[in-house]
Every structure is written in structure tokens, then in C-alpha cells.
Structure 1
């Protein structure tokens, strides 16, 4: 510390202690019960309640004198520290679309082999696997009971026939709940769309969903998480 800064610091320290001591003595002798300066009381309260919220070393002087100094000679009332709210506002994230593993899905079709998953329901004929198994295995989505209903597939094909995301899970839904059929969306076609699906009687294959299909065209929705 240079001579100039050392002199400045010592001068400040001397006058700070002198003024505080003089102020304490005058208030003690006069017995006045009102604060000389509201701002000074606020500063004193801040130093007492939040000593680590400031980088100003002047709080050290006040803290050394203690809470009684602030209450009896500065504020003339008991100091009540304000409560700091720790409530954090949270927002619910919107459901997210899912993308399936394209390579694995194509391989399943090529091998003509049912794809099973322990978390999905079982078929009466254990030679085959349920439609949901293909999605839980290759789309990384949780139990069927946790699936959320997204936009209708056919509506998406009508509005974005060339931009609809391929290899995303779809399923029939009834009253917001997963239906009996599910698959992996491939593309929009004339009058409907194509999916890769397996059932309890068929292996993974490409299925065209149109107005004449076994499953109702308008029942299919994208699966969201």
C-alpha cells in the first residue's frame, strides 16, 4: 500500500470511529428516541441482516459495535430482518416429439423378426410381439401408459406433406388414451400415410394406413413424451 492510500485509509478510519463515537455519546446523553437519518438506519439494518451482500468494508465497523448499537443509537427500535423469498417459479415443459432409431427399425423389417420389450404387453401367441414393443424398444419411449397424445397424423400430412418428420412413433388414441395399434411413421402417401408396425399376428413390416384400412385413419396421433 502506497503512502497516499495508507494516509487516506487511516484518515477515513479515524474520522469514521470519531463520528460514530461522538454520535453514540450525544444520543446517550440526550436520550433522544428518534432516528437521525432513515437511510443510516437502513444501512445499519442491511449490515446486520445481510453482512455478506456488500463488498464495502464499512459494514465491519457496524458489525463490531453489534446489533445493540444499531437498535439503541441509530434506529431506536428493534431490527427485524426481512424475509428473503426463495420461491422459484417453474413452468411445465411442453410434451416433446420423439425420433426412433432408423437403422434398427429398417433392420427389424429386413430380418422379418418380431421385436420384444419386457415393459410392453405380451401377445397370446409368444411367437409374435405386441405393437408397443417396437416403439418402446427402438424409440426409447417409456411404458405405454405414459404416452401422450399429439397431433393427428393425417392432419399433419395435409398441412405438411413433405416436411412431416419420418421415423417418429404414432399410435391410435381413444379419449386421450393409447389404443390397440401403434407403429413408426414413415411418410405421407396419397389418401393416408405409411408406418412400420408389428402386431400379435405379424412381424415388422410397412403398413399403409388409408380410409380402407383395418385401423381408422383418423385415430392415429403422434406419440409425445
Structure 2
């Protein structure tokens, strides 16, 4: 089987253009069917390994790549890094998590978010739309566990130069960052802090701007590496 399969409308067609990258035929078919059935999405191609995903992204220029982590030839993390460095393409990582202990690295590589493969079909479609819009999507159920697993490993600790950058944040902005590290959405943040979603969006924007971060994914990484959030520490 050819690892790259192109399909769908020609470039320029309205709606989100999706590339599905997974080495398992069943997952590729399932995700392709779910997303292709959405009125605002078209699956323009498939890839069965990471190298094929990079080539397909360059050739097809999708809006979003739905990326598996463990694939032959080139893994999803390196494929994500190459795509995000070269193209204005968003990447949504899907993982089994219990098997993929290094998914965190995919976030550092530029992925806009990640979800578990056992998600509901409506959650997958929603996730693609969120990532395509430029927002980062973190699965709250696994965000804390993923990052804490990483920072507990030898060689990963507080980075002094990052900790120093926290001085530029107000106390409220630090509160926002702590909660971002838990993977909370704007609505959840607003509910916890008893403020409007508009106010939350303003705070989040200020946090990202002051710290020079691209999105919420980078904010989670920063919160742990700067020492603002401590693995196993109390929830705010």
C-alpha cells in the first residue's frame, strides 16, 4: 500500500483541509470517515508513516494534520517538528498515552494539542476545529500526568532563566498560568475565578505575550519548567 493517499477537492476549496497520519489502517479509516463527514471538513490525504506525513503536508498543504505518535520510518514527534518548522500547518496529536510516554515532546515540537484515541467522534471534530483556529487543545485528564511524568525524569528540573521571567507577571496572571497548566478551558477558568470568559481571554493573552509563548501548550511546558507548578503539588 502506498503510504500517501491524496483525495478530496482541489486546493482553494472552502472548509478545513485535513491530513490523517497513522500507521494503522483501522485508525486512518475511522478518523478519515469521522472528519470527512463533517460539513466544514475535507480529508485531503492520508499517510501511513511519519516521513510520508511530512511529504504529504508539503504537497497538500492541509490546515490540520491529525498525527499519530508511534509510526515507522519517522515517528510522529519528529514529523510534527519538521512540519511545524516549515509550514503554517496545525498538528493535532492523537495517542494511546499509556504506551506513548514521550508525547510531551510532540507538544514542544509544535503540536497544537493532543487527545487520546478513545475520544468520541464529536470530540475529535471539535478538537480539529479548535486547533485549526489557532488555539491549543490539551486533554485535561492527561495533561497533568504527562507533564509531571516528564519533569520527574533525570535531567529535567527548574530552568533558572525561565523562573526569572515569572517576575514580569502579576499575581492574577500567575493564577491563570497555574490553571492553564491543569489544562483548563476558558470557560472552566472563568468559572473557577468567577470572571467573564472575555476577561480570561485577556489575561491569557497577556500571559502569553509577556512570556513570549506561542500558545497554551507552551504555557503548560513553561509553568512546569519554570517551577511555578510543582509535580504532585496542590491544585489551585
TM-score by length of structure 1 reads: 0.22
**Larger strand proportion of the pair:** 1
TM-score (norm 2): 0.22
Report which of the two has the higher share of helix.
2
Higher RCO structure (Cα 8 Å, ≥6 apart): 1
**Structure with bigger gyration radius:** 1
